[in-house]
Each structure stands twice: as structure tokens, then as C-alpha cells.
Structure 1
Amino acid sequence: MTAVAAPDLANCADEAIHLPGSIQPHGVLLAFDRDSQLLAWSANAAAVLGIDPVLGAAAAALGLPPEALAVLDAAAAELDNGEALPNAGEVRIGEQQFDCIVHGYQSRLLLEFERRAVRSDVVASFALKAHGAIDRLKRQGSIDALLNMAVRQVRQLTGFDRVMAYHFRHDDSGDVVAEARDEAIDAYLGRRYPATDIPAQARRLYLINTLRLIADVGYQSVPVLGRAGDAPVDMSHSVLRSVSPIHVEYLQNMGVQASMSVSIVVNGRLWGMLACHHMTPRQVPYSIRMATDVLAQVLASSVQTLEAKAEAVRIERAAELSSRMLAAMAQQDNVVATLDAYAEPLRQTLGADALIVSQLGELTVHGDLDVGLATAIVHALPARDEVLLQYTQRDDWPAPLRAQLGTWVGMLAMSFDAGTQGVMVALRHEQVEQVRWAGRPDKVIAHGPLGPRLTPRGSFNEWRETVRGRAEPWDATALTIAGQLLAKLSRSVAARNAEIDRARTELMAMLGHDLRDPLHTINMAGVLLERGAQSATLGRRIQSSSNRMQRLIGHVLDLSRINGGIGLGIHPVPVALDQVVAELVDDVRAAHPGASFALDMPAPVSALVDADRFVQVLANLLSNARHHGELGKPIRVGLHTADGHAVLTVRNHGAPISAAIADKLFDPFKHTSLYGSRNRRGVGLGLYIARQIVLGHSGRLAYHYEAPQVVFTVHLPLHTPISPTIL
């Protein structure tokens, strides 16, 4: 005995609702081939139309009214690739008025006769109402206003007891966002319908046939007859198509006796729907339904325009932000520091509650996120090929981390430099929702003559559910912005890495050359000492060469520490800066008798700094001033306090630094520093390392020009600096 699988939602999805084999009884259907020969007909054709349907009979031989044959011939002439757009006309058969509608699909012509009880002049008056409704709709400036106007206008046109507009969410559930109704019936505004209320094949029909009417939910369907064994008639575009028994039961459970739905299709997707309900049977004439369909198309076009404008504004603002950020990055050697400076506008642009930026072990956090959790999140990011990774619920995260997340369940990770573990992570809190479902969103298994099947909900009373552990997913615009930002950032970082690699190669070659000179000097001095030369002179040469080698190697080691994320190891202690400055200037003056120095320190200045690193900064600035300053002019060194900072200035006479060079002044591996005419021993790392030291003290190092002097200024906080977080 074969086991029968339990029914599930796939059973609903398998229902061939476009091939029902029957129609609603308020009309007649005739199906013809492309040569207008009869293929199939509804069982009520003879009784309603007074014809004798014969398989294979020509349409002209059936005794149909001339108006019906005219619309059929027009559709046959327009049949292209097996399809023809719907066309309609009015016909009278005896005392009964019909709307005669024809369309072509799959090389078949479907001619439908729909009874109409409303006079033609009354129907014509609705055209003016529809025109006014569309005009009012076009004037709305927001999507909310559009939908509220639409439900009112559709209710006035059609007379339904209730007209709802609902918008589909990312998970295909739908929220009722606007409603016009008779005051005697319940309000559904604000309630949500589960995605399972519209199976996949129903969504397909809502896309290709945007309007569907059920004139009487309690109807008895009329079978479609034809040659046995022929393919069933596809009624995807039929106006009389019979509907799923499950949907009929669904409407009956709601107490609805007539229903009409009009799709809102935006950019080829089912964006929303106008759903109309009546508590008694109601048939709306075809032309009025078509006016409603046109109104829905205008509504969809307006929604698309408003969404496109909003998206364009968001993308334009994001592009402006990324341009400013990349311009700043071109002048900043630290990617994390640049992103850190723009973190707040980045967070707002991405719609994030918190932002993490991390590279080479350096990490910064913006928002009310614990640094320890941020560190754990970065470490838990999986190794992956894709550069954009999105989590929308707690279950998406690696299992070991879920218990630590708290409310942080939404994530968008952007990996901009895999080689340095460069990543920017946007986070969102969970969105705790009190969902007002239109009835409990469950399907019930019922047993009948055909065995077990899923039945629709039996109650549509409001049912509330608290939803936790999920965050609002990033919409398509936010993902577009993130993708564009990531692409620009990755290109900028890659270009910078390539430039650094090239400059590093040059530096290594230069170091190999420059280290040979002092080594040669030391070797020669050793040989001369062996031969009895004067040791004092040779000792000075050995010391000078050793100092030079130590300085070169020290720069390279500092660069490696910075690039490796280790940091410079800054340890601030109370230091009398004025004494350190005076001692260092005296040392430099003794070592370079030809240089002239002037000190301007009106009062003692003490601060919490790393004394050795401070000396390294000042020594570099004094060296630059000696090498690039005007010969014979004094180098002026100043020290004072201002706004809680110690302010150190080093000035030398000289021409202003050009803008092109000034933009890269604090970058490593500057071409302008390699083999300079006044400083052939420079390797282009001094100012870069000096600035990193100052940044490590939460200070700043800057250049400006005060004619006729070049001025470098260091600001250091007098109190304990806050160092960046190091993983």
C-alpha cells in the first residue's frame, strides 16, 4: 500500500487554477482556433445564446450576432505569436444585453458573453467619473495619499461595501494600508495577511490578468465542453474563469458574497492590490471594471515614479557622501580613520543602528554597541567570496554567537579589502512587532470525499502575534547604495595598496643602497683603526654611520608595526615638554653648528605623552626644517598651551609647499621625498610616522604657510589621550 503524503502548502501551489474546466454562470464562453473554428464551449451556451454549438463549426455558422463576429474577426486578425489583446463590444441577444469580450492566448480565441443588467447610458456616465478619479489620483504627492485616494475612488465607481489597498512586504505577506468601507462592517485597516493566502500560481495570474471578479461567491460553476482528450482551455486571461474552491471557501469564511481584485504591478512585480468585498452578490459591468483597472495602472505608475524619485535622492546623497569620503581617503593613509570620520552619515545612509569599521586589527564602533560584541562579530564573519553579506534574523548568525547578540540581529557586512581583513559592518536591532493578523495565519487539514486537504482560515477576527528575533531587511535601494559604496571603496583601497606595493619595492631598493654606504664607512673605519689611524675621528664616523643605519631601520620597523596593526606602543607619562624641547634643540645645535635655532617658550608646559615618541616627532620636524629651510635663516621652535592642548610649532624660511605635494605630505613612500636634492638620505617615512605618533596621542599634526615661513604645528592634549581600540 502506497503511503499518502500529508497535505502541505505545496498542495495549494500545485492547483491548476488557470485550467479550471468551468466558468462562472453569469456568462458564456466559446473557444475557437486561429481559423475561428469552435473548439470548446460552456455547457450553458445553447440556453443563453440560443445557438447549437458543434465541434469544428465556423463561428459565422453558429448564428452569433454580427457585433460578436466583428470583435472575433478583429482579434483573429491581430493574433500575433498566438496572442491578441482583449477587445470588447456590446451585443443584444433577445432581451438580454451582453458585454462581448474576446482575447487570444496560446493560438486560441476566447469569446465571452457576460450578462449586463446596467443600461449603456448609465455605464457611459461612469467613464466621466473614472476620468475624474484618475485626475485626482495623479495629483497625490505621496504613496499613502495615493492609496487612500484610490480606495475611495474605486468604491465610488464600483459600489463595493469595502475596498482595501494592501502592500506586499519582502516576505510576500500583505499589510492593509488603506481602506474605504461601509460603516456597518468591520475595519481591516492595519491588519496583515500571510503570504500563504496567495499561492505562487495565483500571483502569476495576478500579474498577467490584473483584474478578477467573482460576482457571486455561492455560484454553481458551468463546465466547459469540447473534444475529449484535447488540452484543456487555458483561462488565464478569461473574465469568466471559475476560481479555486479553496478561495471560495476563504471568502465565505469572511462573510463575503462578491469579490473583485485589481493588481498593482510595479516594475514587473506584484507590489500590492486593491481588494473589493461586498456582503451580497454584485456584478460590476466590464467597462467599469476596465476603468478601475486603468485607475490601478495609473496608481502603479505613480507609485513607481514616487519610489524612483525617493530612490534617486537616496542614491544621489550616498554618491555625494562617498565622493567626499574618497577625497578624504586620498589624503589620509589610514582607511579606518577616514571611515571613522564619516561613520555617522554612513550609518544614516545605510539605515543602520550601529556601524563597525575594522582593518588590520584596528576597530572602531559607532552606536550603542559594546566593543567586545563588535570584536566578536568581526571575528565570527565567515571566510567567503561574496563581499556583501546580509543577516536578517538571529538564526542566520553562527550558532556560537547567537546568545551574545542581544537585540542585534540584522547585519550587512561589506568586505572592502580581504588581504587586510578590511570590513565595514552595519547592524540593526531586532524589530519587535505586534502583528495584527486578519485571523490566525494557519492552514487546517480537513478530510472530505477526495481525502485530506488544506483549508483556508475559518476566522478573520484580529489575531495578534509578537514577532521577535528579526530585523527589518535592507531594501533594494540600501543594497544598491552599499554595493556602489563598496565598489568605490574597494577600488580606492586596491589602488592605494598597489601604490604602496610599488613604493615599498622602491624603498627596499633604496634601503639596500643607503645601508651599504654607512656599512662601507664602518668597514673602512675598522680597517684604518687596525692600521693605527686616529681613533677619535674614526669613532665619530662610526657613530654617525651607526646612527644613520639605526634611523633607517627604525623607520622601517615603525612602518611594519603600523601596517601590521600592532601600533607604535605609545605609553604616556607626565613629561615637562619645555625641557625636552630645549634639550633636543641643544643636541641638534651641537651636532649641526651651521644651523641656527630660536626658542619661544614663554612658560613651562607639561603633558601626558610618550617622551621618546615625542622626541621622535620633534627630531623629524627639526630635520625637515634644516634640510628644506633657507640657508642662514633661523629655525624657530615655539611651545605654548591653548584650549587644553600643548601646541608645538616648528618654522623655517622657505617657499610654500605646492598643493599637489601638500596633499600627500603625510603619506608614506612619497616620490617627492625619495632622493631629494636637499635630503638625499630621506626615505619618505618621517612625516608619516610622526603623524601616526601624534594621532596615537589623540592629537593632530598639520602644515600651513605664513609668508615667508613654512610652519608645522603639533597639538597634543594635556590630559590622557584615548587610543583607538586594538584587537
Structure 2
Amino acid sequence: MQDRFIEGCEQEQLHLSGAIQPHGALVVSDLQGLVSHVSANLASLLALDTRIEQLLDQPLPDFLEEVHNIAPPLNQGERYIGQGNVGQQEFDVIISHNGEQLIYELYPVDAYAEPMPMGGEAFPVPEDRHALENQCQQLLVALLALSGFDRVHYYRFMPEGDGEVTAEARQPEVTGSYLGLRFPASDIPQVARQLYLQNPWRSIPQASAEPAAIVGRGQSSNPNLTWADLRSVSPVHQEYMANMGVGSAISLPITQAGELDALISCHNAVPKQLTVSQLQAMSALSEAFNLRLRDYKARRRLQIYDGLQRQFDHAKAVLMRHGELESAWPELSRWLMDTFSVDGVILQVGSECHQRGAVLSASAVNVVAEAARFETSSVWISDNLQRDCGDMPLSEIAGVAVVSDLPLDQYHNVNLYLCRLEYLYEVTWGGNPDKPIDYRDGNSAIAPRRSFEAWVEQRVGHSRPWFSSTRIYLLKLRALLQQAKSFSWTTNE
């Protein structure tokens, strides 16, 4: 990725766009109830017989005051969903608190539209990976039926920031598939990912629609639209959707431990607007899966801890049987290589160095140790040493997991290096990920890729990817080594 492209994406202030999507209208008030901003389309969308400028610096209009009085007090980031009417025109309203103001999003609805049922089939917490994948697929099928969209993808974020489509559902007549394709991290910049974390959904009914400006009083700054789904669409994202042939989209976040773990992305070739009730129902389904995924991962962590405890009991038994590390090393190193699926292992105990299999050279160990020195958790993992270590000498070892600076006594530390050989494999991208900038009229401009056809990259210089649980295993191993050191880690010195 070219740094200029990523930097340009990250600097875009999406929450301060000063405009909204035109399928709804916006009113902003201060916390005392005086209107500070309105969208330019408010009067036309709700058939008001007043100029929008006449609403500024005035109390909330009667049709919003009625809804406001019903809503509970809100804190920053909280929202309330209700209904109101202006004459014969009914509307859904979402009220959110941005820390300084109240945001009122108004969506005209058909007076005869029936609310969408919020229920759904109850599923147990998945017992294994296969059950989890089945539930994910069932979720996508349900969302496809509920939305009526062409496709629904489960877009999982990888540790390095890239995303991969790991599940897909599509209408019978829709051809082509994104399943298994990977997309670079810059396709969804961090600034956009933070907004997904704050909202239950993101709806773009018409990607090509011209935004409606937000009109403020005097020199007032643009309101913070972090929690407003009406927030206008970035021009870069509009072009990205056009290049994909997407006319409308809905995104539902999957969050784990305060991080964006995945996105459920619904695409339709032509513009399509869902009601707030439909969006609520879709969000309820995805959140139910999110909770089950959270419980599944918690259960897996406990299983990992329990399994490692049993495995480490075996390692401790080996050490105790031999009485010292030198004679135990052949059996202990074999256990380490099997447990962590590595090609070689190095154990530094004070000035002693024990190794087995394909390992780093002494000079490479020093370079890796310097890189790992800045890791606060004492566990450092890389699947591409040439990328992650600036002065890395040529080596057949491409990936390393390090457990460093485990105190043995006041004079010695223990350092463990788990080594993996280079592994050549292919990654199938949705388009060439290395061409994020278009050059127009002789100038570079931020612009997304034009093609999303499968583009195969042969990856060199990488080891086999480390499992997502590797860090947990190593932290647990470090704790267990700490417990065992008092009687086990003796040498022939």
C-alpha cells in the first residue's frame, strides 16, 4: 500500500461531513432544546410550510417536541427510536446524543407499513467451529431474506488488518461470488472502522445520491455525526461502490472485546431503502449471533487454557523425571515443536543455549530479540521477519514466536524462540491490492480500485500463519514456566 493513499483516507473527517444522505432529514439541537442545525431537505421531505432558516435558534418544532418528551434522558452515544407525525405524514425518528448536542434523524414512512417482527429462531452457543460456521451461514440466509438484497457477506478482519469474505449468501439469480476473496486493510480505513464500532448499522440506500447540506446558525461548526446513520457517504466510498456495481448497501458490525471483528455486508445492484423497523430486525439478528460468538470464543479460551495446562503437566513431569534441563531437552523440545507446530526451537537459559530443528542463526536471534524488546506483553509474533525486522539477515526461517525475559533468578533470564520455515502460498485478492491511486489530469488523487476480479498473489518470505490462539498459548506458557522455574530450570553450569 502506498502511504499517501492510506494517510489520505485516515485524515478524512467522516463524522464532520456537514451533509446527510437525502432519504432522511436532520434536526440538531443543543442540550437546552434550541435548534442549531437543520438539513436543507427537511421542509420538502416532510411537506412543511415553513422555511428551514426560521427553525434555527428556536425551540424544537412541535412535531419533534412531542417525540422528545417521550424519549428517556440520553447519554453520549445512546440512542432512542420512536415515531412521530407532521399532519398526515408519519416518520420514524432516531434521537442520539453526541456529547454536546441531540441529533434527530427523521425518516418518512408509509402510514400503512407494518412493523417488522423482532423475533427469530433461538440458537445455542456453538460447540465447535463447524457449528459456528453453520450458524453464520444461517444468519446470512436470514438477512438475505429479510433485506431482499442481492448478496450478504461475512467479512472477517484478519490480525494484519486485511479482510476476507468467509461466508456468503446470494439470491438464486445472482452470479459470481466473493467467497474466499481477501481485501486490503485500506479498503476500510481505521477512521471508518471506529464509526462502525459506534453504531448498530450503516445504511446507504442509494450510493450515487447527492447529499443534502446541513444548514447551521451563523458561523456554527458542522455537527458531530458519529452516531447518525444519515451521515453522508464519503466520495471515495461512493466511487468504490460504483466500481463494485453496488447501488445500495447495509453493514452490520460484529464486535469482540471492543474491537471490530467482522462486518456483515449486504449489497444490492440497484438502490433499495429499508425501514428503520427492518434495520432494527436485521441488527437484532446480527447482535444475537455476536453474543453467541463472544460466548463461543470465551469457551474456546477456557478449553485452550485447560488443554495447555494438561500438556504442560506433561512437560513438568519430563523436567522432574530428568532433574535438569540438559538431559530433558530432547524430549522437552519435541513437545514444544509438536504443541506449537513449529520447525525448530531455541531455549536460552542464562548463557546456555539449547536448540532443536531448523532455527535462527546467532546473529538473526540478536536482531529478533531487538525487535521483541519493545513488546510490552513479553510475547512477540511475526510471520514475516524480513518485513518486521529491518536488519534481518537472510534466513530460511521466515516466522518466529518469542517468549522473552522470563526471570530465572537474579542473574539469568529465559528466552524461548519458536521458529517456522518459509512457506510459499497463494492469497486470492478481490482485485489488485497494490493499485489504490488513480492518476487523473497528471495529478494523483485518492481513488479506489476499478476492478474486483480475483487477483492471485504468491506470497514469499512468510511462514505459515500463526493461529489466533498462539498469543494466548504463549502467555499461558510463560505463566506456567514462571511457576515451574523454582524447581525445574536447572542446568549443568
TM class by shorter chain equals 0.7 to 0.9
Report the equivalent of 2:19. Answer: 22
Aligned to 1:79: 74
How has the CA–CA distance of structure 1 residues 296 and 424 changed in structure 2, closer, same or farther, with 3 Å as cutoff? same
SS in 1 for 2:322: coil
Matches within 5 A, 1:44-443: 44-49=41-46, 50-52=48-50, 53=52, 54-59=55-60, 62-64=61-63, 68-75=64-71, 77-80=72-75, 83=76, 85-117=78-110, 119-121=112-114, 124=115, 126-127=116-117, 130-133=118-121, 135-136=122-123, 142-182=131-171, 183-357=173-347, 359=349, 361=352, 363-366=354-357, 369=358, 382=369, 388-395=379-386, 402-403=393-394, 405-406=395-396, 408-415=397-404, 416=406, 417=408, 422-441=414-433, 442-443=435-436
Aligned partners of 2:380 and 2:402 also within 8 Å:
yes
Deviation of 1:399 after TM superposition, in Å, equals 7.6
Aligned to 1:481: 473
**Which residues of structure 2 form unaligned runs of 5+?**
none
Structure 1 counterpart of 2:105, which letter? E
- Alpha-carbon deviations, 1:91-137, whole Å to 9, x = none? 3445544212212222311112112348432xx3x31xx5225x258
Q: Measure the CA separation in 1 of the matches of 2:143 and 2:356.
A: 51
Q: Which amino acid aligns with 2:383?
A: T
* Structure 1 residues 319-366: Cα deviation after superposition (integer angstroms, max 9, x where no partner): 222233234434533224334323344333324243344556563415
CA 1:410–1:20: 2 relative to 1, 3 Å: same
Aligned-pair CA distance for 1:12: 1.1
SS of 2:426's partner is strand
Query: How much does 1:379 deviate?
Result: 7.3
Deviations 1:451-477 (A, max 9, x none): 742101111111111111122454563
SS of aligned partner of 1:57? coil
* Structure 2 counterpart of 1:466: 458
Equivalent position SS for 2:292? helix
- Per-residue displacement from partner, 1:404-446 (whole Å, max 9, x unpaired)? x32x211123355595675432122334332111111121134
What one-letter code is carried by the residue in structure 2 that aligns with 1:297?
E
Alignment gaps of 5+ in structure 1: 1-5, 501-561, 565-727
* Alpha-carbon distance change, 413 to 107 in structure 1, aligned in 2, over 3 angstroms: closer
Residue 28 of structure 2, aligned match among 31, 35, 54 = 31
Q: State the 1:448 CA deviation.
A: 7.2
Q: C-alpha offsets along residues 295-323 of structure 1, whole Å, 9 cap, x if unaligned? A: 11111111121122222111111122223
Q: Secondary structure at the match of 2:401?
A: strand
CA contact (8 A) 1:38 1:56 kept: yes
- Mapped to 1, the partners of 2:348 and 2:94 lie a distance apart of 64
The equivalent of 1:536 in structure 2 is none
Decide which moves more: 145-154 or 243-252. 145-154
Q: Find out whether 1:563 has 2:489 as its counterpart.
A: no
> Structure 1 residues 480, 140: CA separation in 2 closer, same or farther (over 3 Å shift)?
closer
Change (3 A) 1:282 1:431: farther
CA distance in 1, matches of 2:97, 2:353: 66
CA distances 1:531-554 after superposition (whole Å, capped 9, x unpaired): xxxxxxxxxxxxxxxxxxxxxxxx
**Sequence identity, in percent?**
25
Total equivalences in the alignment: 476
Does the CA-based 8 Å contact 2:45-2:108 persist in structure 1?
no
What is the one-letter code of the residue matched to 1:56? D
- The one-letter amino acid of 2:270's match is T
| Contact 2:203/2:250 (8 A) holds in 1 | yes
Q: Letter of the aligned partner of 1:55 in structure 2?
A: L
SS at match of 1:465: strand
Tell whether the 8 Å contact from 1:140 to 1:146 is kept in structure 2 after alignment: no
Contact 1:7 1:452 in 2 (8 A): no
User: Residue type matched to 1:238 in 2?
Assistant: A
Q: How much has 1:376 moved relative to structure 2?
A: 7.0
Deviations 1:376-415 (A, max 9, x none): 7667764786754433213158788643x32x21112335
Structure-1 separation of matches of 2:473 and 2:332: 15
1:7 touches 1:445 (CA, 8 Å); kept in 2?
no
Q: Quote the Cα distance in structure 2 between the aligned partners of 1:283 and 1:453.
A: 31
Alignment partners' CA distance in 2, 1:303 and 1:174: 18
Summarize the alignment of residues 441-590 of structure 1 with structure 2, pairs less than 5 Å apart.
441=433, 442-447=435-440, 452-472=444-464, 474-475=466-467, 477-494=469-486, 563-564=492-493
Closer, same or farther: CA 563–337 of 1 in aligned 2, 3 Å: closer
Q: Is the 8 A contact 1:350 1:482 kept in 2?
A: no
User: 1:205: Cα distance to partner?
Assistant: 0.2
Structure number, greater radius of gyration: 1
- AA paired with 1:454? I
Select the structure that is richer in helix: 1
Give the aligned partner of residue 10 of structure 1.
7
- Is 2:342–2:419's contact at 8 Å kept on the other side of the alignment? yes
Please give the alpha-carbon distance, in whole angstroms, between the structure 2 residues aligned to 1:452 and 1:362.
53
Supply the RMSD in Å over aligned alpha carbons: 3.1
Would you say the 8 A contact 1:79–1:107 is kept in 2? no
Q: Is the 8 A contact 1:72 1:111 kept in 2?
A: no
3-state DSSP class of the match of 1:132?
coil
TM-score by length of 1: 0.60
TM-score by length of 2: 0.87
Report the secondary structure of 1:480's partner residue.
Answer: helix
Deviations, residues 263-310 of structure 1 (Å, cap 9, x unaligned): 111111100010011111100111111111121111111112112222
Distance 2:216 2:329 in 1: 71
Per-residue deviation, residues 604-646 of structure 1 (Å, max 9, x unmatched): xxxxxxxxxxxxxxxxxxxxxxxxxxxxxxxxxxxxxxxxxxx
Residue type at the aligned position of 1:23: I
Q: Could you report, residue by residue, the CA deviation over 1:64-111 in whole angstroms, capped at 9, with x for unpaired residues?
A: 2xxx43332244x5034xx26222223344554421221222231111
Asked whether the equivalents of residues 183 and 430 of structure 2 are also in contact (C-alpha less than 8 Å), the reply is yes
C-alpha contact 1:151 1:163 (8 A) present in aligned 2: yes
Is the partner of 2:119 in helix, strand or coil?
A: helix
C-alpha distance in 1 between matches for 2:415 and 2:458? 34
Write the deviation string for residues 474-507 of structure 1: whole angstroms up to 9, x where unpaired.
456322322332343245335567xx8xxxxxxx
Would you say the 8 A contact 1:265–1:297 is kept in 2? no
Which of residues 40, 45, 56 is equivalent to 1:43? 40
1:154-182 per-position Cα deviation (integer Å, ceiling 9, x unaligned): 10111110100011001111110111112
Instruction: State the alpha-carbon separation in 1 of the partners of residues 222 and 334 from structure 2.
Output: 61
Check whether the contact 1:436–1:465 (CA below 8 A) recurs between aligned residues.
yes
Spell out, residue by residue over 1:631-662, the C-alpha distance to the aligned partner (whole angstroms, 9 max, x if none): xxxxxxxxxxxxxxxxxxxxxxxxxxxxxxxx
Q: Measure the CA separation in 2 of the matches of 1:222 and 1:399.
A: 49
